[in-house]
Amino acid sequence: MDEAITQVKNALEDTAVTDAQIRDTVWNYYFDVDQSVNFLRDLRKKQENKKQSAAKKSSKAFHERLLFADTVTCRPGTGHRSSGKLRQSTQSSPSISKQKTPLVSRCQYGVSIFDGIPWGLPASMNTEITYCGGPTPRMGLLGGSSKLAALAKSRAAKRQQELEYQQQPQPMEDVQPATPSTPSAIALPKSPLVLDTAVPSTPPASGASVSKRLTSLLAERSRDRGRTTSRAISPEKQSYLRRTGSQSPSVSSLSPNSDLSSASAVFSENIPSSFATSLCDSAFAQSTFSSAASTSSSPAFDGMSADEIWKMITNKPLFYLPVTEKQAEEIAKNFARPSPDDIIKDAQATKGGTASVTSSKKVQPQKASNRAGLEKDMKSLSMQDHSVKIPQSRQKINVVEAFSSSRRKLHINFVVLGHVDAGKSTLMGRLLYDVGAIDARTIEKYKRDASNIGKGSFAFAWVLDQSAEERARGVTMDVAMNSFESSKVAFTILDAPGHKDFVPNMIAGASEADFAVLVIDSSPNAFEAGFTQSGQTKEHALLVRSLGVQRIIVAVNKLDNVNWSEFRFDEVKETLMPFLSAAGFSESQTSFVPCSGLSGDNIVNRSIRPELSWYKDRTLLEELESLTSVERDIGAPLQLSVTDVFKGGSSSAINITGRINAGNIQVGETVLAVPSNETAAVKSIAIADQPNNWAVAGDNVQIALSNIDIVHLRAGDILCASANPVRCAKTFSARIIAFQLRIPLIKGSNVLIYRGRTTEAARILRLVAVVDKNTGKITKNKPRHLISGQTAIVELEVIGNSFPMETFKASKDLGRIVLRQDGNTVAAGIVEEILSVKNDGTRD
């Protein structure tokens, strides 16, 4: 930070620009020195051009002025004038921001609100404005819905009129922070007090006393606030503000009686987004005041610095009231005074107004999840936004910061595995039903339909087996994805097919999973059948382990078929455990749950059957919830595995679904599709059908892309950051573990490489060496062939299309491969080195 400031200072060679100003600018440009310098230069030029009467003041003088202004503003009639003056003075003496960083940053948001607000509003309204500032819009216009535009226009007109009336030189540019080219309103340092001065209090408030001391300034403000909110029009104002795009959440549950507490509550609306908070000084982070403190009485504030109060306030949660559109229109009518219309300024005002909306959209994901009310509020806003065209120069979101401050629910993907007919889909259908993700009516319908075709027991499986063919045949064919949330965790179920022919689909599912649920059919002989060499129980378990899954829950299903026998459960457990440990699942990472998908015992609800009283441990859901998330590298360059490509229903956009393996993605970003090497722009992102502006590693997302033709995309492709393209291997070396082989692997063996949805034919170019499984030492060079269980280093050549991959070292997800031959999994391995690449973007 300091370094950047010094750099900018040096670059500017201008002492007139204060540190704080620079600091703000540098912040705003994400420490881009060049841009900051440019901006500051521009800013200075503008200031000179304006020939403003107010000279540059020292920060001390400014303080005095503020004090003065504040007292003045409370008097009717003088408000406008002082506000104008003060605004200028703050522009020229930004050093105040240095002393009150949090306040300044907050006020910056407030300032932007003024763009959209005529100064001639009723005092109460202005008060509202002061407090309701959202984060500064940092980007260009959204285009704007017609309603918004109209409102913004009228506001601008009004402001213009007001300005002229005041005969004050009041250049709009200065308070026009958000033009598309200079998304840097923050750089105009303004004290929050400026906002207060803008509270001209035309109608004197009810007997609220006006404090003349600076220290009590905030208290005064809050009182003012409380007063305002106690009025009936309060929600309307809010709605007005919202409609004008100032993104002020409505103040709903403010108590008219408790000035301070309500005021502080309102204050917290003003809290910069968590994103901004994290950008700000640590002062925010260090905020130690409990929210309870804010309920203290007014005298308690006297001794506090504004900073302290601010800190305290930031801890307050909020509540909001929905506001009707009608109310909003009423408010709008209030300002329908005729005014001279400056077209340019109009346009600017429109920009400012709509930009605010954009900001609200941006803020949405950053809100803490405990602010449910606000979230809701925001969602309604963002719905509006979606009809709006995406601005070209969208400001980059620092997703890592946004993510760390968003406190989303823990998101876990788990894959459901097991031999065919083990009851995977039924078990998951039951789970979804019991947690309430599926309503009883749907299940009833499935039950009816299923029994109509003589498959009554398949009703729950139909929750996941959606396609007509899957239902008719009674087998899962493709991975079904379903989501549900428990109180603690948001889960995504990947219900893998058990049939041997669909193992590729199972691999696709398993490669998206953090954890695995292995379903065992405990019916007589069924378990044994699934556990044979050709059964899928073993293959699935080995595969999922070699795909990097370490934690496995074994659901011993269909126990109702063996009369809930504990003996059978133990038998299954004892047969399975040695195999699982050999496969690489540690005992602590493996748990067994006796259950029945059909009856629902021990799935979500603990079984109350006396026959099952021997089991006291956790139910399946409890086991799932006990899982902890895996670490994901969300700051790394983007790597997203495409699982599906399809054209959107109504829109012409190309949609993809996929899983983010590493890094993050945000709306507006340009990504590179590999292997076609075509770039595409991210138009929108949805996580679990909820629109979001960004997504991070581990998320399963649906993304609408523009500027790309559908022929360049295919399931199995990788989307990556264009700066860090994923390579497309033609030949590579890998360390593989041979599974149970029917025929040995020799030089020239044709295999299919699988990784996620990506499949490609390949052949073994060379067997480099057999290595010891445990020590990794080479035991034999250039073996003639590999037999079951051997670990070896081999070189593979991709036949046909090249294969986007990374070494295992570089990417845990993209560096894992599975080799299959003639429908059998012959080996799993990790990519050691990419020997030659084919990156010409062609497909064969």
Binding site for another protein (CB under 8 A): 466-467, 469, 473, 477-478, 499, 501-502, 504, 643-649, 657, 710, 714-715, 741-744, 746-750, 752, 759, 761, 763, 766, 782, 784-785, 787-788, 820-824
Which of 591, 587, 589 has its CA nearest to residue 578? 587
List the structure tokens of 307: 């900073």
Query: CB 783 → another protein: shortest distance, Å?
Result: 10
List the structure tokens of 330: 């009423």
Q: Which residues are within 8 A (CB) of 825 and not within 5 positions of it... i.e. 6 or more apart? A: 503, 539, 542, 543, 739, 818, 819
Bridge partners of 778, per DSSP, are 771
Q: Which is nearer to another protein, 149 or 819 (CB)?
A: 819
Query: CB 475 → another protein: shortest distance, Å?
Result: 9
Contact 685/705 with Cβ under 8 angstroms?
A: no
Q: How many CA atoms lie within 13 A of 744 on its CB side?
A: 11
Q: Which is nearer to another protein, 34 or 501 (CB)?
A: 501
Query: CB 678 → another protein: shortest distance, Å?
Result: 15
Residue 350: Cβ-neighbour burial (10 angstroms; 0-12, 13-18, 19+) = buried
Which of 677, 685, 681 has its CA nearest to residue 713? 677
Query: CB 747 → another protein: shortest distance, Å?
Result: 5
Query: CB 491 → another protein: shortest distance, Å?
Result: 18
Q: Which is nearer to another protein, 501 or 840 (CB)?
A: 501
- 3-class SS at 713? coil
Query: CB 761 → another protein: shortest distance, Å?
Result: 5
Q: Which is nearer to another protein, 91 or 476 (CB)?
A: 476
Query: CB 501 → another protein: shortest distance, Å?
Result: 4
Q: Which is nearer to another protein, 634 or 752 (CB)?
A: 752
Q: Which is nearer to another protein, 587 or 689 (CB)?
A: 689
Q: How far is the C-alpha of 247 from the C-alpha of 240, rounded, in Å?
A: 10
Query: CB 518 → another protein: shortest distance, Å?
Result: 23
List the structure tokens of 610: 């006396």
Q: Apex CA 690: angle with CA 686 and CA 693, to 5°?
A: 55
In degrees and rounded to multiples of 5, residue 832 shows phi and psi of -90, -45
Q: Which is nearer to another protein, 478 or 669 (CB)?
A: 478
List the structure tokens of 843: 């497909």
Query: CB 468 → another protein: shortest distance, Å?
Result: 9
Bridge partners of 594, per DSSP, are 556
Q: Which is nearer to another protein, 1 or 778 (CB)?
A: 778
Query: CB 767 → another protein: shortest distance, Å?
Result: 10
Handedness of CA 254, 256, 258, 264 (dihedral sign): positive
Contact 518/553 with Cβ under 8 angstroms?
A: yes
Q: Which is nearer to another protein, 351 or 820 (CB)?
A: 820
Query: CB 741 → another protein: shortest distance, Å?
Result: 6
For 639, the enclosing helix (H) or strand (E) is strand 639-647
Q: Which is nearer to another protein, 587 or 844 (CB)?
A: 844
Q: Which is nearer to another protein, 46 or 742 (CB)?
A: 742
Q: Which residues are within 8 A (CB) of 484 and not within 5 positions of it... i.e. 6 or more apart? A: 431, 432, 435, 437, 490, 491, 493
Query: CB 829 → another protein: shortest distance, Å?
Result: 19
Q: Which is nearer to another protein, 189 or 804 (CB)?
A: 804
Gyration radius from the chain CA atoms: 32
Cα dist from 536 to 529, 531, 585, whole Å: 9, 7, 17
Q: Which is nearer to another protein, 86 or 654 (CB)?
A: 654
Q: How far is the C-alpha of 200 from the C-alpha of 577, rounded, in Å?
A: 76
Query: CB 432 → another protein: shortest distance, Å?
Result: 14
Query: CB 293 → another protein: shortest distance, Å?
Result: 49
Q: How far is the C-alpha of 112 from the C-alpha of 356, rounded, in Å?
A: 8
Residue 813: Cβ-neighbour burial (10 angstroms; 0-12, 13-18, 19+) = buried
Residue for token pair 């590729």: 504
Q: Which is nearer to another protein, 303 or 649 (CB)?
A: 649
- Let me know how long the chain is: 844
Which of 536, 523, 607 has its CA nearest to residue 572? 523
- The one-letter amino acid at 189: P
Q: How far is the C-alpha of 679 from the C-alpha of 285, rounded, in Å?
A: 39
Q: How far is the C-alpha of 93 from the C-alpha of 90, rounded, in Å?
A: 5
Query: CB 545 → another protein: shortest distance, Å?
Result: 22
List the structure tokens of 526: 């069924």
**CA 9 to chain CA mean position, Å:** 36
Q: Per-residue b/e over 287-299, b at no fewer than 16 CB within 10 Å?
A: bebebebbeeebe
Contact 477/502 with Cβ under 8 angstroms?
A: yes
Q: Which is nearer to another protein, 582 or 746 (CB)?
A: 746
